[in-house]
Amino acid sequence: MSSDLLLYMVAVAGGLLVAIIIAYIYVNKNDKNKKYINQLQAGTKETKFSMEVTYQKLYMFYLKVPFLKRYVLKLRRRLEIINLDDEYLTRNRSSKILTRALAIIIPLTIIIMVITSNNLLLMCILLIFEIFIVDTIIDGMVDKIDNNLLKQQIHFFSEIRHAYNEFNMVEEAIYQTAQDDDNPEMSRQAEKIYDVLISNDPESELEKYYDIAPNSYLKEFAGVSYLTKEFGDRKVDGASLYLKNLNNITQEMQLEILKRDKLDYVFQSLSVISIVPMLAIEPIKNWAVSMFSFTASFYQGKDGMLVQILLLVLTFVCYILTRKLKDNGSTSMNTKNTENPWQEKLYRIKPVKKIVDLFIPKEGTKENRKIKKQMKDAASKDKIQWIYINRLTLCISAFFISLFLFFQLHQITINNVYTDPTTTYDIIGAMTDKQQKTAMQLTESDNQYIEVFKNDSDLKVEKIVSAMDSGRINDTYINSKDEEMVDAAERIIEKIGIIKSEYLSWVEVLGAIVVAMIAYMAPILMLIFQTKMRQLEMEDEVMQFQTIILMLMRIERVNVEIILEWLERYANIFKDPLSKCINNYESGAWEALEAMKEDVTYEDFIRIIQSLQSAVEKIPIKDAFDELDTERDYYQAKRKESNDRLISRKGMIGKGIGFAPMVVLFVGYLIVPLVFIGLTSMSNSFNSLANMR
């Protein structure tokens, strides 16, 4: 063996030894890391099935599904405000709510597909409608969390009274009460408010918190706490002003909880009642046809389908209006993507933008000012461009859908001519199997004659009778009497006439245009409806203003401008006039308030403005609003009465809207057809008997 070969073998062996040593060290190190990780996980890793972990995994799965992703993100936008900076809880709740909604929707989908298996059009409409049902279920579950937060706030304010009496410091009382683990949602909000109060720039941090606070009562609490910390507390009638203000906020929340509970009770079944008629369409149709065979021509024909479509449209409209009407304030949080919705994406396409701009009224015109005023009155967050994209989209969609439905109605009528059993109807009950078989044989015989004679421009009874008598098409009438052949020929001519008359006419095109125009006006009509609903809330909002003024008027260094800023912060209906007044305040306080007085028409709010004008130059704020304090009990009783009236009016309107589809279903789709067709059938039967005599 040569020395070079020996050296080569020694080098290879040494290299292998070094590689083995390195691999051993690496494996040993990884093993130690693995043991260390296992030790860290010990006691924290779930040893059995965990729904918490499952919800986290489902959350990631939902984000990957395009249709479900929309709902997950919508839930996030609402829940992350309540679950301040708690990503784990936000994901957990979003996944849990969506999972529960799907657990309801999936069985409902199966039921719909089973019930409407013979009616593809109705099945598609109902499945599309389920999208809105998902929204209702999700909103209800989120509202429950929001209502729970309100109830936790009442408990929190009760605890903070004791803490404030003990420490006599606002921030310390909030910090101590926030340690309560029994109310986790409220504790997070309290910790956030505490961080705001002890920050280097609490005023700017407070403004940031106002943008993310889940309800106005937490805004009031944070603001009053800041003012008390900055300007100090004082005694009013021997009691702490800060604690009196907390008591005022608590009373407001108690009234709000009672209002929401009553609204939920009144509307808890109306949304379901407005939807149920859609699910009952097919069962009612099958029952009526099986029990009264003479109704088959209606339910399986064009008229029955037209009533179905109108019933579905009515149900859809009533369902949307019922949801808008029920809005109790907790759902007012805007969860839509207001920065880049589909309307904005569509508007960025240049050809679309040019077309849409042709319909938008020019700036400064009366029409433009009118629409913008309607949007402001309805508190719409949309842009005018989005409104018109919605209008045009609905208009075009409604036109083509109407044409498609008219075409389908014609096809249904033609198909019924070829497939319906041809026989005299029994007044009550269905045909036997033997009668059904005979009727279908007669229909098949008629179809053969229809195919031969339907293109004949000079068709007469004699031609068909001659063909029947000769038996050249089929042998059904070879041994029949002349009267029977004439009756059959007239029936065949009638069927051919029906087939030839079923085409898209100019009247139906005009009808589609009318439907399109109604759809074009739908977004504006919805703005008007929202405005009317907001007007019902005017009295409630003014009473909230009175409570805010009552809290602020005895705090030192509070002036009219600060009161206006607070009112504007919590305003909804009167937000625009208040914003305009604040912007013009520096130019002249009295003049700005006078201009606002001219912009509003509600008497109670005008009285508040007049008191603010008195406080600008003449008398102190506490004297200008002295009646709010002296007549506090009266205003509380009036507020309760106002809420009762509001709920009563909403309930009355809601019941009328919610039960409308049910009434149309039973009256327009069941009772009227049965009575009308039954009377017509009886009349024909009596005429036949008279002719036989």
pLDDT, tens only, 452-462: 777 777 777 77
Q: Let me know: does 570 contact 549? Beta carbons within 8 Å.
A: no
The four Cα atoms 416, 668, 105, 71 give a dihedral, to 10 degrees, of 110
Candidates 648, 391, 405, 399; CA nearest to 523 is 391
Stretch 35-64: mean pLDDT, rounded? 66
Please provide the DSSP assignment of 578-629 as one string. HHHHHHHGGG-HHHHHHHHHHH---HHHHHHHHHHHHHHHTS-HHHHTHHHH
Find the Cα–Cα–Cα–Cα dihedral 17, 19, 25, 26, rounded to 10°.
Answer: -160
Question: Is the distance from CB of 540 to CB of 643 less than 8 angstroms?
Answer: yes
| Residue in the block written with tokens 């040569």 | 2
- The pLDDT > 70 percentage for the chain reads 86
Rounded distance between C-alpha atoms, residue 277 and residue 122, angstroms: 12
What's the DSSP call for residue 292? B
**Tokens (6 digits) for 613:** 């004008």
* Residue 677 CB neighbour total at 10 angstroms: 20
What span, in angstroms and rounded, lies between the C-alpha atoms of 336 and 443?
A: 56
Q: For residues 347-368, b (16+ Cβ closer than 10 Å) or e, as one string? A: beeeeeeeebeeebeeeeeeee
Structure tokens at 633: 């009990």
The pair of three-digit structure tokens given for residue 417, joined into one six-digit string: 């001519």
The answer, yes or no, to whether residue 282 has pLDDT greater than 50, is yes
Report the Cα–Cα distance between both ends of the chain, in Å, rounded. 133
The answer on pLDDT for 538 being more than 70 is yes
**What DSSP letter does each residue of 36-65 carry, written as one string?**
HHHHHHTTTS-SS--HHHHHHHHHHHHHHS
**Chain segment 382-392, per-residue pLDDT in tens:** 888 888 898 99
pLDDT, residue 329, reads 43
Burial class (CB in 10 A: 0-12, 13-18, 19+), 45: exposed
pLDDT (average), residues 183-199: 85
> Cα–Cα–Cα angle for 659, 665, 671, nearest 5°?
125
The count of other CB atoms within 10 Å of the CB of residue 304 is 22
pLDDT confidence bin for 149, thresholds 50/70/90: confident
Residue 331: pLDDT band with limits 50, 70, 90:
very low
pLDDT tens, position by position, 215-232: 888 888 888 888 888 888
In the prediction, which pLDDT does 396 show? 92
Nearest CA to 160 out of 235, 243, 228, 252 is that of 243
Give the up-direction half-sphere exposure of residue 135: CA atoms within 13 A in the CB hemisphere: 14
Mean pLDDT, the chain, whole residue set: 78
Residues 6+ apart with CB under 8 A from 351: none
pLDDT: which is higher, 128 or 208: 208
Q: Could you tell me how many residues make up the chain?
A: 693
CA angle 289/290/292 to nearest 5° reads: 60
pLDDT at 576 over 70: yes
In the predicted model, what is the mean pLDDT of residues 195-220? 86
Domain ranges of the chain: 1-45, 420-504
- Would you state the structure tokens that stand for residue 386, as one six-digit string? 């989005």
What per-residue confidence (pLDDT) applies to 358? 86
**Checking phi first, is residue 406 left (phi over 0); if not, alpha (psi -120 to 50) or beta?**
alpha
465-473: Cβ within 8 A, 24+ apart = 465/489, 473/448, 473/449
Tell me: pLDDT of 154 over 80: yes
Distances (CA, A) of 42 to 28, 33, 36: 21, 14, 10
pLDDT category, 681, cuts 50, 70, 90?
low
The yes-or-no verdict on residue 672 having pLDDT over 50 is yes
Task: Name residue, tokens 């914003």.
Answer: 579
CA atoms of 85 and 197, how far apart (whole Å): 18
For residues 563-601, one letter each, b for 16 or more C-beta atoms within 10 angstroms of the residue's C-beta and e for the rest, the string is: bbebbbbbbebbbbbbeebbeebeeebeebbeebbeebe
Decide: 483 and 460 in contact? Cβ < 8 Å.
Answer: no
Tell me, rounded to whole angstroms, the distance of Cα 565 from its chain centroid.
Answer: 32
Q: Model confidence at 472, in pLDDT bands (50, 70, 90)?
A: confident
Lookup result for tokens 């990631």: 60
Instruction: Please check the confidence at residue 530 and state whether its pLDDT lies above 60.
Output: yes
CA of residue 185 relative to chain centroid, distance = 25
pLDDT higher than threshold 90 for residue 517: yes
pLDDT at residue 40, rounded to an integer: 46
Closest CA to 111 of 139, 133, 141: 133
Helices vs strands, H then E, count in the chain: 30, 2
What pLDDT band is residue 621 in, cutting at 50, 70 and 90?
A: confident
Cα 167 to Cα 497: distance, rounded to the nearest angstrom: 93
Give the Å distances, CA to CA, from 271 to 139, 320, 499, 688. 12, 9, 42, 49
- 346: pLDDT strictly greater than 80: yes
Task: Provide the greatest CA pair distance for the chain.
Answer: 134
**Residue 334: what pLDDT?**
45
Confidence label for 510 from pLDDT (cuts 50, 70 and 90)? very high
